[in-house]
A and B are shown apart, each in its own frame.
Chain A
């Protein structure tokens, strides 16, 4: 039998399936939408991976390049931390330098978002400001934590990125280029 829509009265249009995305009504407010919130299958608390969320990432140069470089970077950081823990400081620093070499290319993916660009730039300057000096174990862990964050959340907002930069600074890293404070002084004069 046909659905009958009487425009003068309220009608209910059900989606027909539990948990479906809202289907909507057909008369701009004169109808009611009924949607069940039941979920199908077990609810997983772990975040979806960017590769699952964006299944065509391989066809999107920017996202694809960023995810690939971040994967590579995470491997170097894991190696660096592993060797640091084993007392191999030279090996740890070598792996860190490999990670550092990826940062300019990662920065070229900053169109992904302001948050992404801010984090990559700050990590770059944090390492550069060390002027060849080694990172402490805690600093390495912090670095890995932040790189992991943008690996899973490449579209991180600028506000959230600022929170991450505070974590870097709390770990004793200087996230801005050295000339930045002089520029700030000049601007405030």
Chain B
């Protein structure tokens, strides 16, 4: 039987590339050098936070870039279906960090991709996930509750010897409340919104170390992305 769910029903939402390494203490000498070089490439790069263990920048209100003692990552908060901008940005950051911190080995590579589908309420979002028949959902009265499932979550880790994948399907509700200070409340009215989403969150990662000479960031993301698009359906029931 064909799976009830497929990726064409969802839209890409967020993509992350993260590389981990053994503590790179050169960060304490070269954090400024790294960001100065990246700032040459991206003049709109804006600093968000900087302390000895972590530096964090944002580009175009879209990409979050973080360099830490033991890892660096790029998050694209508006991932496109081709991931072209994300792959290019990720490659530039990882290569810059690798060169400046003189990294020779990565302990873990991770590529995490989140797809979403918005719903008007959490019941519809839950019904969408329940409709995939991937979970056994009880009917009737239990725990003395004549209830219904509202926030279902299905997750699994699928690992081989060298790579693994963590797949999560879940429903999330978010409530956003913006309460401006009383002095500016005439200019900025309070803002309240609730979002109800079905989320497919997939994390593809390595379990064995990768040397610098093995990693081509674009190629690795491109292949991981292709695998996710090709094989996700096996986790979507059917």
| CB closest chain-B residue, reference A116 | B213
Asked if A56 and B16 make an inter-chain contact with CB atoms under 8 angstroms apart, the answer reads no
Asked if B211 and A17 make an inter-chain contact with CB atoms under 8 angstroms apart, the answer reads no
Q: Which residues 104-135 of A have a CB within 8 angstroms of B?
A: 112-113, 115
Q: Which residues 109-153 of B have a CB within 8 angstroms of A?
A: 110-112, 114, 122
Q: Convert B194-220 into 0s and 1s, putting 1 for each residue whose CB lies closer than 8 angstroms to a CB of A.
A: 100000010101111111111110011
Cβ of B236 < 8 Å from any Cβ of A? no
Asked if A28 and B48 make an inter-chain contact with CB atoms under 8 angstroms apart, the answer reads yes
Asked if A21 and B205 make an inter-chain contact with CB atoms under 8 angstroms apart, the answer reads yes
Q: Convert A1-33 into 0s and 1s, putting 1 for each residue whose CB lies closer than 8 angstroms to a CB of B.
A: 111111110000000110011111110110000
Q: Cα distance A39–B164 when bound, in Å?
A: 12
Residues of A in contact, count (CB < 8 Å): 51
Cβ of A154 < 8 Å from any Cβ of B? yes
Asked if B174 and A5 make an inter-chain contact with CB atoms under 8 angstroms apart, the answer reads yes
Cβ of B172 < 8 Å from any Cβ of A? yes
Partner of B223, one of A24, A25, A55, A115: A55
Q: List residues of chain B with CB within 8 A of the CB of A5.
A: 174-177
Given A7-B178, A23-B16, A17 and B206 touching (CB < 8 A)? no
Asked if A155 and B112 make an inter-chain contact with CB atoms under 8 angstroms apart, the answer reads no
| CB closest chain-A residue, reference B160 | A52
Per CB-CB distance, the 7 closest pairs between chain A and chain B, nearest first, are A153-B213, A21-B110, A29-B48, A156-B213, A2-B173, A21-B112, A48-B208
